Amino acid sequence: KKEADAIEGASQKKTEMQTEANIKYKRALEIAHNTAMESDDHIELIRAERVRRLVEDNKENPEAIDRILAEEFGILIMTPEDKS
């Protein structure tokens, strides 16, 4: 029984992490796209494309996506735990 509960808990945690990663992945791509569309600067367009590729490469890793957004766009993602 304990083993089944542990497996179910781990499976649920994995699903939650995948959902979080997917949400952050989509948001990061949206930010990169909007940055590219709003810019007339060729360097900004290249940067946005690089960020898009980095996010694509890390789409299963929400922490990496947070780091990429922070480093490239100065966007800090706060969780409810961070706010308290």
pTM above 0.75, yes or no: no
Q: What is the band of 78 on the pLDDT scale with cuts at 50, 70, 90? A: low
Q: How high is the pLDDT of residue 57?
A: 92
Rounded CA gap, 55 and 46, in Å?
14
User: For residues 9 and 56, which has the higher predicted lDDT (pLDDT)?
Assistant: 56
Rounded CA gap, 48 and 53, in Å?
9
pLDDT, tens digit, 9 for 90 and up, residues 29-44: 888 888 777 878 888 8
- Please give the distance of CA 81 from its chain centroid, rounded to a whole number: 17
